[in-house]
Amino acid sequence: MESLDLQVLDAVLRWHTQGRRFALVTVAQTWGSAPRQPGAWLAICDDGRVQGSVSGGCIEDDLIDRVRRGELAHHGATPECVTYGGHREANHRFGLPCGGTLALVVESCPDLASLLHLQAGIREGRRMCRRIDLASGTVQVLDATGTPEVQWDGRVLATTHGPSWRLLLIGANPVARCLVPIAHSLGFAVSVCDPREEYHAEWDLAQAPWLPGMPDDVVVAQRPDANLAVVALTHDPKLDDMALLEALRSPAFYVGALGSQVNSQARRDRLRRHFDLSEAEVGRLHGPIGVPIGSRTPAEIAVSIAAELVSARQRSRQGLPELAAPEQRGWPAPAAARSTGCTLA
């Protein structure tokens, strides 16, 4: 599954080749409760087709109607800011949460060259910044280096696109195969490390490049920062433990390992006994990994891991303390996780 950014870009460029007109709508700012966050995209074709979203649906309906009537998606129009909500009648009409207000930047004739440039950069795994000047209508696409995700001053809107968040998977098992497309669709740049040749020979997921070498060396080579998550999936201490050692010492925002409650406790004991890790560093390790949804199959386990990654990422974005490990949250593990199985908590 493609990222949401690429889904929108692929759609509008496909519509262009079909000779259709389209509008591009971006959430610039929100006040009060809002269904989507600043930076969210919506593309609307002149025949009513849509890709992406900026609300729960009612604002989309109004925008689609305006495109069909020819008020949007016509040549020569400059970008404009449109506000929805702000008073009770508007909130009721458009189905906005109580008190919610959205400021949207609407491009009735988006610059095609900038969209092609943006699409190419994202596909290369680069983090890109798209800057729109409403007064002049000019658009710039640049590499994003430390740029905030959204900047809006009422005249210039700058949004970042592409994978700023990285996920390194240690192990190429069925859970990894299920997790790769989910994480990719959530905006993670995913890579996989597994030195076992029998697993490498069958790895065919282009969304997650294979990184050669031993897992601990690969973790170091990734230059872990606060945008990296490391998830160990092999069940082999010779592979998992050394990678976890490097990850737990790093600023990585999330470090977790697949295993039962019993195996997870044994792993913590090994890390304390054999490696020079502080209690706080060992305490960062998530295991049993994932949120407690009673998962059993590889696909269910992948969903559980992805949910916990999203939660940890949101806390990191907001500058909140790191997500507590499952046993510190008081979540009960299911029977299978309390035994020697690999089912998630």
Residues 190 and 183 sit within 8 Å (Cβ to Cβ):
yes
For 29, what's the count of Cα atoms within 13 Å in the CB-facing half-sphere? 13
Using DSSP, state whether 135 is helix, strand or coil: coil
The H or E element that residue 181 is part of is: helix 174-185
Domain 165-338 has CATH 3.40.50.720: yes
Select, from the ranges 56-70, 88-102, 239-253, 270-284, the one with the highest average predicted confidence (pLDDT).
Answer: 239-253
Domain ranges of the chain: 4-161, 165-338
Tell me the average pLDDT of the chain.
85
- Is the pLDDT reported for residue 98 higher than 70? no
Handedness of CA 185, 186, 187, 188 (dihedral sign): negative
Using DSSP, state whether 69 is helix, strand or coil: coil
Round to whole Å and give the CA distance between 321 and 315: 7
Lowest mean pLDDT among 25-34, 71-80, 264-273: 71-80
Q: Residue 86 — pLDDT band, cuts 50, 70, 90? A: low
Report pLDDT for 317: 74
Tens-place pLDDT, residues 183-194: 988 889 899 999
Round to whole Å and give the CA distance between 105 and 39: 10
Tens-place pLDDT, residues 274-289: 888 889 999 999 999 9
Residue with tokens 């979540």, as numbered in its chain: 331
Burial of 87 (0-12, 13-18, 19+ CB in 10 A): exposed
Using DSSP, state whether 199 is helix, strand or coil: helix
Determine the average pLDDT of the residues in 237-253.
Answer: 94
Round to whole Å and give the CA distance between 72 and 93: 20
Determine the average pLDDT of the residues in 206-217.
Answer: 93
Report pLDDT for 271: 92
Tens-place pLDDT, residues 2-32: 578 888 999 999 999 999 999 999 999 988 7
